[in-house]
Amino acid sequence: MILPIYLYGQPVLRQEAEPVPQDYPDLKQLVANMFETMYHADGVGLAGPQVGLPLQVLVIDASVISDDYPECKDFKRAMINPVFLEKSEETVSMEEGCLSLPGIHEKVARSTRIRVKYWDENWEEHTEELHDYAARVVQHECEHLTGHVFIDNISAIRRQLNKSKLNSIIKGTARCAYRAKAVGK
Ligand SMILES: [Zn+2]
């Protein structure tokens, strides 16, 4: 089932996400719905708050960009309650976008290497080391779980330059090719 994507301005995107409890009903169905929603919107990642759920769950499938970023080959994951064990001090700046902020693309500095622990939708525990773009996608999605979005990292000037776009997202007048939920609509 395709879920509506909550857009910038929605309070749920500013909430700290709660851990998913082990007895959460229909976790597999939620993960399947999130994948379907992400694919429908041509995204490579989607976090719980973006579908209106302040829960520590995210889905990623970055395999579509593996021609440009070989580290993303077969990088399809559902991550429940992810925790960073390590984040490299070395960072790199690259352009990002977000399904909750249609039409906005800005450079963000992220760690080039991370180690992350998480559970999958079958409650199997994983620890993984990721680098470059794969590490970037995980950092972007995990940021959503802390009540932040990627443009929180950009300068005040860059944010000012995006002000009219941000206002149109809030008002619900921004162009958006998928089912979305703006505050103003
Ligand atoms: Zn995002």
Q: Among residues 78, 77, 149, 153, which one has the least CA distance to residue 110? A: 153
Query: Which CATH superfamily includes the segment(s) 5-181?
Result: Peptide deformylase (3.90.45.10)
User: Is residue 34 exposed (0-12), middle (13-18) or buried (19+ Cβ within 10 Å)?
Assistant: buried
Q: What residues does the ion ligand 1 have nearby, CB within 5 Å?
A: 98
Give the distance (Å) from ligand 1 centre to CA of residue 151.
10
pLDDT digits (tens, 9 = 90+) for 93-105: 999 999 999 999 9
Q: What is the mean pLDDT of the chain?
A: 97
Largest CA-CA distance found in the chain, in angstroms, rounded: 45
Give the distance (Å) from ligand 1 centre to CA of residue 45.
7
Does residue 185 carry a pLDDT above 80? no
Give the distance (Å) from ligand 1 centre to CA of residue 143.
8
Instruction: Using pLDDT thresholds of 50, 70 and 90, give the confidence band for residue 132.
Output: very high
